[in-house]
Chain A
Amino acid sequence: MDEKFYLDTSIIFGYFLKKVSELKGEVKSSKVAEFLIESKDKINYNVSILTKVEIVRKLKSEFLLDNTLIEKIWKSFILDVNCTEIEVNINVSELYKEILRIVSSIPIRKRVTNLEHLIIAKKKDLIFVTGDDEVLKKCKEFYPRIWSYKDLRRFYSNLNIG
């Protein structure tokens, strides 16, 4: 298990919705959740405090959850997927100088949160797995180790063949 992956927030929230889709009955199963659970013993998944911030914000503001349940949900995800919460010891000034370099070089339309994730992944030498098309298309010149969800699935598929 040499490669280590840093997950974006969308994929994690997709995992959270597995039970919702099951209860609703409209979707037979959650492909995202199935993939993460199936691959957890072969793929090293990582998240950061920034990931948690985004998840907590969403759960609190959109679903009005209380903090105790939010903490349990986060812990459940970490345990279910065998995920590591990495320590982020990055100098804030250094972080934003890197982001400034990116947004000064190429037009980035979306908010900078995914760029913050990107720099965390870079500093920790992790492969950033994201569904953000803009990051996938425009940011590889700053950090080539950016993969789409499909790239991750392909990697896992090859692990099983090899």
Chain B
Amino acid sequence: MKSEELTKEEREEVWMEFAKIVLKRLDYWKKHNPKKYREFWREYRKLEKAFSEDLK
């Protein structure tokens, strides 16, 4: 599959499909593997913080 084959709308659909699967997986972790669930969001928050902090 060439990159050119995916339009912006198709990419948006890809991300939505991905997001739904990830959310389902996160729900599973929340119930059955809370350590993994917390670790996942901790990593994400750490990354978001690095992109939110004051540059000074």
Number of A-B contacts (CB under 8 A): 84
Known: A16-B18, A31-B48, A150-B50. A72 touches B25 (CB 8 A): no
| Apart from A14-B48, A22-B19, A65-B21, 20 more pairs, CB < 8 Å | A19-B15, A20-B19, A20-B26, A21-B44, A30-B48, A31-B51, A34-B51, A35-B51, A69-B14, A69-B17, A72-B1, A72-B6, A73-B15, A75-B1, A75-B6, A131-B47, A149-B47, A150-B50, A150-B53, A150-B55
* Contact-size category for A: 35 or more
- Shortest C-beta distance, A40 to chain B (Å), equals 14
1-51 of chain A: CB within 8 A of chain B: 10-11, 14, 16-24, 27, 30-32, 34-35
A17 pairs with B22, CB closer than 8 A: yes
Q: B33 to chain A: closest CB distance in Å? A: 11
- A residues 65-85 with Cβ under 8 Å of B? 65, 69, 71-73, 75-76, 78-80
B2 to chain A, nearest CB (A): 8
Contact B15 A63 (CB under 8 A): no
- How many residues belonging to B are interface residues under a CB distance threshold of 8 Å? 26
Chain A interface secondary structure, helix, strand, loop or mixed? helix
Residues from chain B with a CB closer than 8 A to the CB of A94 are none
Query: Which chain B positions have C-beta within 8 A of A92?
Result: none
Q: How far is the CA of A1 from the CA of B1 in the complex (A)?
A: 29
Q: Is B31 an interface residue (CB 8 A)?
A: no
**B23 contacts A153, CB within 8 Å?**
no
Contacts of A23 in B (CB 8 A): 16, 19-20, 23
Whether B11 is near chain A, meaning CB under 8 Å from some CB there, is yes
Contact B15–A76 (Cβ < 8 Å): yes
